[in-house]
Every structure is written in structure tokens, then in C-alpha cells.
Structure 1
Amino acid sequence: MTKSRRCPLVPADDEDVGVEFSRCEMHYDTGLEYHVIVAAVVQPEKKFNSSETNVVWQIGEEIRGNEPLMHPKSINNFDSTETIDLESTEIISYTRHQRSRLRIVHGIVNIVGWGTLLPSGVIVSRYMRIFPKPCKNWYDIHVTCQTSGYIIGSAGWALGLWLGKASHNYKFNIHNTAGLLIFIFATIQMLVL
């Protein structure tokens, strides 16, 4: 078992973090069955831009006394930040949406390339020669499906490599291995065309 890092509600006496806490409390919400931490932070205007603030939030389940322990290491916990403009109350940036959108694109592109077009090319080569009736262009359709599937799948794979490098705090070992194997076998398949 790894040693968990402790995160006290207030900084240690010898730490100068440059902010003051005007209110710091913790209570248990019986309706939600959650511990809620509320802290009002006073930011010195000399050190901070008073019109913008960066917000980081976490949901954790473990607590020791009045100190929350390390939050879960899921991808949602690493993406839970935003920058808010306090004058207009609009969200300037929301990190989770940017990476989440790229993850969705990565998934869709890979499903279309590796999961739809490549298998369609195999089905065409196996069945369109004779069923439902002989097709003279079956080989051209087969090559088109295989080539476009490989190109689209490779684009999704490259996006996955970039996402993996960008999320250095989180490792997807099984997912990375599966993606690498799919890319290797698809490349071998393309070499025999």
C-alpha cells in the first residue's frame, strides 16, 4: 500500500503561500452523505489578478480527522480546473471540456477507421466476389475500405499518442498496448495489399 499524501485545510505555520483564509469550515451533509469543505480565500491584489481566478475542485472519499486524503487518480480528477472572470462571471477556460472533446474525437475516429472501415474491407473481399451476385469491382472497393480505414485509424492513433503525452499525470497502460497492437496488425495488413 502506498503512503497517501495529506492535505490540511490550512497551510502549515512556516508556509507563506501569499493568500489569507477569511473563513475555513468543514461539515457533513447528511442528505448527500458527503463531507463539504468551504474556504473563503482573500487574494492580495499585488500578487494576483483580482478579476480572474483559477478554480480547482476535487471529490475524495477518504478523510483522517479534519484532513482530506488524496483524491482518486481518475482522469476526471486531473481535468477538474477552470478559470473564471469574476467581473463578468463567465468561464474563461475549462480544461476538462478541451481534453474531453479530443478524447471523444480520438474514440470516434478510431471506431470509424479500425472498427468499421477495416472490417468492411475484409467483408467485401470475402463476400462481394460471389454474394449476392458477382461484383467486378470488389477488389477496388476492398482496397478503398482498407486504405481509408488505415489512414483514418492512423490519424486516431496519432491523436491518441498526443493525448497520452499530454496527460502525463495519468497512464493508460492497457489502452496503450491495445492501440499499439491494433496499429501493428493494421500496418501488416496494409503491407499485403
Structure 2
Amino acid sequence: MRLYAQTPARRIRQVLADLSAAALIYAAVKLALAVHDAIERLADPGRKAESAGNSLSDGLADAGDAASKVPFVGGQLKKPLRSAAEAGTGLADAGRSLQDTVGHVATLTTVALIVIPVVFVLLLWLPLRLRWIRRSAVTQRLAADPGGADLLALRVLTGSQRELAALPTPPGGLADAWRRGDKQVIADLAAIGLRQAGLRA
């Protein structure tokens, strides 16, 4: 199985197409990761809110514990401080929730920004590459088989006539020479068929 053509012009086009596809996929991944980082920065207020809420909750809980030791009124002082500590916990929970939401949005956006361009590039590039690989393998096998040169020559005769103008035209024309089994004409036509597939005779 041949991955690249033997003819220089087609091989250069294939290498450039492969490099372009790889570059586009790399650029899509880099862009997606940059967008992910930018979205993740939106979670900073959530981290600050969580930190502030935890600090407030811990501080008020400690104050409540200390106030409970005050004789006679300790129990009454502890209740509002405990309530305030729970409000601090709520603030911390809200901060965590914001971080989770931003994290989910960042992940989904990153996946979309990677998958959509990569699928688009693969749908444009991969079928053409696989088709050429399959076609070149079939053409090589055909050229190696007995009588394969005749079939390649026939394929060239029934295809585009542009390259046939360069061949010397025998009496009766190329088709007549092919029907007669003219070995030189068949070899020339088969070489064109191989060249069209990006292969050398």
C-alpha cells in the first residue's frame, strides 16, 4: 500500500494537503484550549466567593463557640452567629456552583471547538486520501497482472483525451492500434494511466 504518489507534482500536492490538514487540526485544538482558559477565568469570582464564604462561615462559627461560653447569655449570642455562619456557607456553595457551571460551559465549548473543525477537515481531506490510496493500489495491481497494461491503456483511451495529444498517432489512430495489440502504443497508454494515478511506469 502506497501512501504518497511517485510523481513529484502529485506527491508535493499530497504532502501539502496532509500538512494543511494537520495544521488546521492543530490550530483548532490550540484555539479551543485558549477559549477554555478564557472561559475558566470567568470562574474567578466563584472561587473568591467560595473562599470568602468559607472564611466568613469559619470565623462566625468560632465566634459563636466563643460566645456560647459567656455566662447567662452565651446561648442567645450563639444563635445569630450560627445563622450568619450558615449564610457564609450558602455564599461558599454559590461560589462552588458558579465554578461548576463555568467548568461545564468551558468543557462543552472546548469539545465543540475541537470536534466540529476536526470532523470538517477529516470529511474534506480523508476520503480523498483514502480514495487515492485505494486507486493507486488497484492501478499497481492491474499493471502487474497479465493483460493489465491493455486494461490501463483502454482506461486512458476512454478517459480524458488531453494527454493523448502528446503521443505519436499511428496509422488508423490510437484506438485502432490498441485493438491490433500494438505493444508500443499499449505501453505508452499504460504509462499515461500510471502517471494519471501518480505512479511511475
Does TM, normalized by the shorter one, top 0.5?
Answer: no
- TM-score, length-normalised on structure 2? 0.30
Larger Rg: 2
Q: Which has the higher helix share?
A: 2
TM-score (norm 1): 0.31
More relative contact order, 1 or 2 (CA 8 Å, 6+ apart): 2
